[in-house]
Structure 1
Amino acid sequence: MTDSRQASRRRARAAAVRGRRRRRSKGRTALAAAVSLLVLGAAGAGWVYTRLNGNISTFSADGVSGDRPPASTKGSNVLVIGSDARTGGNIALGGGDADDIGRSDTAFLLHTYADQKHAVAVSIPRDTLVDIPPCKLPDGSWSAPQSGAMFNAAYSVGETPEGNPACTQNTVEKLTGLRVDHTVVVDFKGFAAMTEAVGGVQVCLPQDVYQRDLNPHRPTRGKRIFAKGPQTVSGQQALDYVRIRHGIGDGSDIGRIKRQQAFVASLLKQIKSDGLTPSKLLPLADAATRSMTVDPGLGTADKLVAFAMSMKDIDLHNTKFVTVPWKYQGARVAIVHPDADALWAALRADRTLDGQDAGGSGKNGSAASPSPGAEAPASGADTPVSSTGVSVAVHNGTTVPGLAARAAEMLEGHGFTVTEATTATVRDQATTVIEYGPGQEEQAGKAARVFPGARLTPVTARGITVLLGRTYADEPEAPASPPPAHIPAQVSEDARSADDNPCSDLSYG
Structure 2
Amino acid sequence: MSSSTRRRRIVRTAVGLAAVLVLSVAGAGAWFYHRLDSNITTFDAGGVATERPPAPVPVTPGASVPVNVLLLGSDTRDDGNADLGGGEEGVGHSDTAILLHVYADHKHAVGVSIPRDALVTIPSCKLPSGRWTEPRTNQMFNSAFTIGEFPQGNPACTQNTVEALTGLRIDHTIVVDFKGVAAMTEAINGVDVCVPNDVNSHNIKLRKGMQKLSGQPAVDYLRARYGFGDNSDIGRMKRQQAFLSAMISKIQGQGFSLPTLLPLADAATRSLTVDEGLGTAMKLVDFAQSLQSIKLSDITFVTTPWRFSGDRVALVHPDVDTLWKLLREGRTLDGQNTGQVADPAAASPSPSDAALPAVSPTALSPEQAAVPITVVNGVGTPGLAGKGAEAVRAKGFQNVALDATSGSRLRTEIAYDPAFRTTADQLVPLFPQARSVEEPGSGGITVTLGRDYHPATATKPDATGTPAGPTTGPTTGPGSGATATPGGVPTGIAENARGADTDPCANLTFG
Tell me what 1:128 maps to: 118
* Alignment partner of 1:262 is 2:247: no
Contact 1:78–1:111 at 8 Å: present in 2 too?
yes
The superposition leaves residues 200-228 of structure 1 with CA deviations (integer Å, 9 ceiling, x where unpaired) of: 11111222111xx234xxxxxxxx82221
Q: Which segment drifts farther, 115-124 or 295-304?
A: 295-304
Question: Partners in 1 of 2:348 and 2:304 — Cα distance?
Answer: 22
1:237-248 aligned within 5 A: 237-248=217-228
SS of residue paired to 1:185:
strand
Tell me what 2:345 maps to: 378
Contact 1:343–1:487 at 8 Å: present in 2 too?
no
Question: Partners in 1 of 2:32 and 2:499 — Cα distance?
Answer: 33
TM-score by structure 2 length?
0.65
Question: Partners in 2 of 1:49 and 1:486 — Cα distance?
Answer: 48
* Alignment partner of 1:62 is 2:46: yes
Which residue of the other structure, out of 189, 194, 201, is the alignment partner of 2:191? 201
The superposition leaves residues 90-137 of structure 1 with CA deviations (integer Å, 9 ceiling, x where unpaired) of: 111112222x22211210100000001000000001000000011000
Which residue of the other structure, out of 69, 72, 85, is the alignment partner of 1:78? 69
Q: Structure 2: where are the runs of 5+ without partners?
A: 1-18, 58-64, 351-483
Tell me what 2:290 maps to: 310
Please report how far the alpha carbon of residue 66 of structure 1 lies from its aligned counterpart in structure 2 after TM superposition.
Answer: 0.7
One-letter code of the match for 1:189?
K
Question: Partners in 1 of 2:68 and 2:339 — Cα distance?
Answer: 14
Tell me what 1:335 maps to: 315
TM-score by structure 1 length?
0.65
Which residue of the other structure, out of 78, 93, 97, is the alignment partner of 2:88? 97
* Alignment partner of 1:253 is 2:244: no
1:366-445 aligned within 5 A: 377-382=344-349
Please report how far the alpha carbon of residue 508 of structure 1 lies from its aligned counterpart in structure 2 after TM superposition.
Answer: 4.3
Contact 1:133–1:171 at 8 Å: present in 2 too?
yes
Contact 1:342–1:486 at 8 Å: present in 2 too?
no
Identity of counterpart residues, as a percentage? Answer: 57
Which residue of the other structure, out of 154, 159, 170, is the alignment partner of 2:149? 159
Question: Partners in 2 of 1:37 and 1:339 — Cα distance?
Answer: 60
Q: 1:123 to 1:41 in 2, by over 3 A?
A: farther
1:209-220 aligned within 5 A: 209-210=199-200, 213-215=201-203
Q: 1:80 to 1:101 in 2, by over 3 A?
A: same
Please report how far the alpha carbon of residue 143 of structure 1 lies from its aligned counterpart in structure 2 after TM superposition.
Answer: 1.2
SS of residue paired to 1:170:
helix
Question: Partners in 2 of 1:506 and 1:160 — Cα distance?
Answer: 34
Q: 1:377 to 1:36 in 2, by over 3 A?
A: farther
Question: Partners in 1 of 2:262 and 2:66 — Cα distance?
Answer: 27
Contact 2:238–2:509 at 8 Å: present in 1 too?
no
Question: Partners in 1 of 2:23 and 2:504 — Cα distance?
Answer: 41
Question: Partners in 2 of 1:486 and 1:378 — Cα distance?
Answer: 25
One-letter code of the match for 1:129?
L
Please report how far the alpha carbon of residue 151 of structure 1 lies from its aligned counterpart in structure 2 after TM superposition.
Answer: 0.3
Contact 2:329–2:347 at 8 Å: present in 1 too?
no
Please report how far the alpha carbon of residue 44 of structure 1 lies from its aligned counterpart in structure 2 after TM superposition.
Answer: 3.4
SS of residue paired to 2:295:
coil
Contact 2:78–2:91 at 8 Å: present in 1 too?
no
One-letter code of the match for 1:382?
P
One-letter code of the match for 1:75?
P
SS of residue paired to 2:173:
strand
SS of residue paired to 1:317:
helix
Tell me what 1:168 maps to: 158
Q: Structure 1: where are the runs of 5+ without partners?
A: 1-34, 216-223, 363-367, 369-375, 384-483
Tell me what 1:232 maps to: 212
One-letter code of the match for 2:51?
D
1:263-278 aligned within 5 A: 263-278=243-258
Question: Partners in 1 of 2:509 and 2:45 — Cα distance?
Answer: 40
The superposition leaves residues 387-425 of structure 1 with CA deviations (integer Å, 9 ceiling, x where unpaired) of: xxxxxxxxxxxxxxxxxxxxxxxxxxxxxxxxxxxxxxx
Please report how far the alpha carbon of residue 245 of structure 1 lies from its aligned counterpart in structure 2 after TM superposition.
Answer: 0.6
Please report how far the alpha carbon of residue 53 of structure 1 lies from its aligned counterpart in structure 2 after TM superposition.
Answer: 0.7
Higher-Rg structure is 1
Q: Which segment drifts farther, 167-176 or 64-73?
A: 64-73
Which residue of the other structure, out of 304, 308, 328, is the alignment partner of 1:324? 304
Question: Partners in 1 of 2:153 and 2:101 — Cα distance?
Answer: 24
Contact 1:131–1:148 at 8 Å: present in 2 too?
yes
Tell me what 1:190 maps to: 180
Question: Partners in 2 of 1:235 and 1:342 — Cα distance?
Answer: 38
One-letter code of the match for 1:225?
K
Q: Higher helix proportion, which one?
A: 1
Q: 1:381 to 1:234 in 2, by over 3 A?
A: closer
The superposition leaves residues 212-271 of structure 1 with CA deviations (integer Å, 9 ceiling, x where unpaired) of: x234xxxxxxxx822211111110010001111112122111001111111111111111
Tell me what 2:504 maps to: 502
Please report how far the alpha carbon of residue 487 of structure 1 lies from its aligned counterpart in structure 2 after TM superposition.
Answer: 4.1
Q: 1:139 to 1:359 in 2, by over 3 A?
A: farther
Tell me what 1:356 maps to: 336
